[in-house]
Amino acid sequence: MRFLVDRCAGRRLADWLRAQGHDVVYAPALGPDPGDRALLAWATQQSRILITIDTDFAKLVFVEESPHHGIVRLPDVPALRRVELMAQVLERHGMDLAAGALITVRGERIRISTSRRNVRDGRSKGG
């Protein structure tokens, strides 16, 4: 998969994804922080899934209907747990992510959103 890892999500996560064989760009490599809209637009143009801890991206997608290629939000995940939880997301929900889902991880709960009207919880069996 192709990822853009936001600076707030951390280099450790970017390095781990690269080690797993993914195509990864770590946002600081793009220069000064361009802001959320520009970052999301760049990720979309490059067909990259954005990984962030920033909660503002949900507003951009659901309220402003900004296009995206997939987003993983880890807003309450401590830096030391991000790799572990991202591994779970990829293992359990890789197909959803590849299809452009917005995935939010809070604690042990994984929420998959494919649109405002089609939301399911990663802990439930059938969705």
User: Is 127 among the domain residues?
Assistant: no
User: Is 33 among the domain residues?
Assistant: yes
| Contact between residue 104 and residue 111 where contact means Cβ atoms under 8 Å apart | yes
User: Is 94 among the domain residues?
Assistant: yes
pLDDT of residue 121: 32
User: Is 110 among the domain residues?
Assistant: yes
What is the domain range of residue 78? 2-121
49-52 and 118-121 strand pairing: unpaired
- Helix or strand run (H / E) with residue 16: helix 11-19
Closest CA to 75 of 54, 102, 89: 54
Specify the CATH number for the domain of residue 114.
Answer: 3.40.50
pLDDT of residue 40: 93
Query: Which residue's structure tokens are 């994984």?
Result: 110
pLDDT of residue 33: 85
> 88-98, pLDDT tens digit by residue?
999 999 999 98
pLDDT of residue 118: 27
pLDDT of residue 20: 96
Whole-prediction pTM? 0.86
Which residues in the chain come in under a pLDDT of 50?
A: 116-127
Give how many domains the chain has, as a whole number: 1
